[in-house]
Amino acid sequence: MTALDQTVFLWLNLGPQTPSSVLNLALFATQYLPHWLVATSLTVALVGRQGWRGQAWRVLASIALAVLLAHWIKQAVQIPRPFTLGLGIQWLPHGKSAGFPSSHAAMAMAFAASACLAPMPWAMRALLLGAALLLSWSRIALGLHFPSDVLAAWCVGAASACAVQALAHAFIQRIRRSTRMAATNGSTQIVH
């Protein structure tokens, strides 16, 4: 954490004069948006259109990997949260666990990055990225994370999404090759 990190945190952290609508938006984003993102992905994975189901499972796998990686990094690095250092205002009760990187922001970016890799209109991509940015901002605004915690989380989330998507693509290509090879060998054996 640097002086710039602290300065940006204090600028983004909500103060006592914050309008209740802004505070309620931050609280909603932190407390409910993660559940909505996961529930939406799970619903699409289970009952969505056939073409969307596979992508929804990859989104869920990306989220799981991002949260797991964020947890491991927190255990290894042990950087304190702002309120444990007496900085800013903490608007939401939280344990004094390490804060780097933010699991919420990692999850949100994994969701958005993975979902955005699917073919969809640009407006939908903007909405998904907006949700990730809103959730990430709320963690700083409520005094729970430094900006560096969120930036690192975005890297973890985006890397998780890219890794899951690449592995899924390689797996699908391998199955397609095997299927083609089996079909080719089957047709060759019928001719003989």
The CA–CA distances, whole Å, from 39 to 85, 128, 152, 166 equal 35, 14, 25, 24
Condensed to tens digits (0 to 9), the pLDDT of residues 57-108 reads: 999 999 999 999 999 999 999 899 999 999 999 999 888 888 899 999 999 9
pLDDT band at 23 (very low <50, low <70, confident <90, very high): very high
CA 11 to chain centre: 24
pLDDT at 91: 93
User: How is the chain split into domains, by residue range?
Assistant: 20-185
The pLDDT of residue 73 is 96
| More reliable by pLDDT, 26 or 171 | 26
Mean pLDDT of the chain: 90
